[in-house]
């Protein structure tokens, strides 16, 4: 983990925070205050405060969006689990039906042999009883 930290670039580098480091790199000289207590570079201070306000608003917006996306992700995962449970039940039913169909297929040749069996029994009965059937 310490090796991974060695490869981290300076603040804002590659993180999509262009201009972020400029906000804090600009210096305000506070050595000479006026009688009203205002900084000689009031315009620069207001500009920095405006940027800070924008940054905070952006941060809040990102947190709200992240929370919304996390909620949507949780809902999607619930739906996925429900869908998987339905699929499992369908597969179980499919296995049961396959077993039932296999049983029917095993008995099917016997059903096809029934007409021959009936004719054979009829012939035996005629022979045993000596009755002629038209």
- This prediction has a pTM of 0.46
Distance separating alpha carbons of residues 34 and 57, to the nearest angstrom:
32
Cα-based distances in Å from 24 to 15, 33, 46, 53, 90: 16, 21, 14, 14, 61
Write down the pLDDT at residue 28.
Answer: 46
Q: What is the largest CA-CA distance in the chain?
A: 140
What tens digit of pLDDT does each residue of 1-59 get? 444 444 444 444 455 555 555 555 554 444 444 545 555 588 899 999 999 999 999 99
pLDDT, tens only, 58-87: 999 999 999 999 999 999 999 999 999 999
Short-list 12, 28, 8, CA closest to 20: 12
17 phi/psi in degrees, rounded to 5? -110, 50
CA–CA distance, 35 with 33 (Å, rounded to integer): 7
């Amino acid at each position: 983990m310490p090796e991974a930290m060695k490869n981290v670039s300076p603040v804002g580098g590659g993180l999509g925070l262009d201009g972020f480091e400029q906000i804090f790199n600009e210096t305000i000289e506070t050595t000479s205050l006026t009688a009203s207590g205002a900084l000689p570079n009031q315009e620069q201070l207001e500009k920095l405060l405006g940027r800070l306000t924008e940054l905070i608003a952006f941060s809040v917006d990102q947190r709200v969006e992240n929370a919304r996306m996390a909620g949507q992700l949780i809902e999607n995962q619930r739906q996925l689990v429900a869908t998987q449970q339905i699929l499992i039940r369908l597969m179980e039913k499919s296995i049961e039906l396959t077993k039932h169909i296999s049983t029917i297929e095993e008995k099917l040749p016997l059903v096809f042999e029934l007409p021959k069996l009936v004719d054979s029994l009829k012939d035996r009965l005629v022979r045993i009883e000596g009755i002629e059937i038209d």
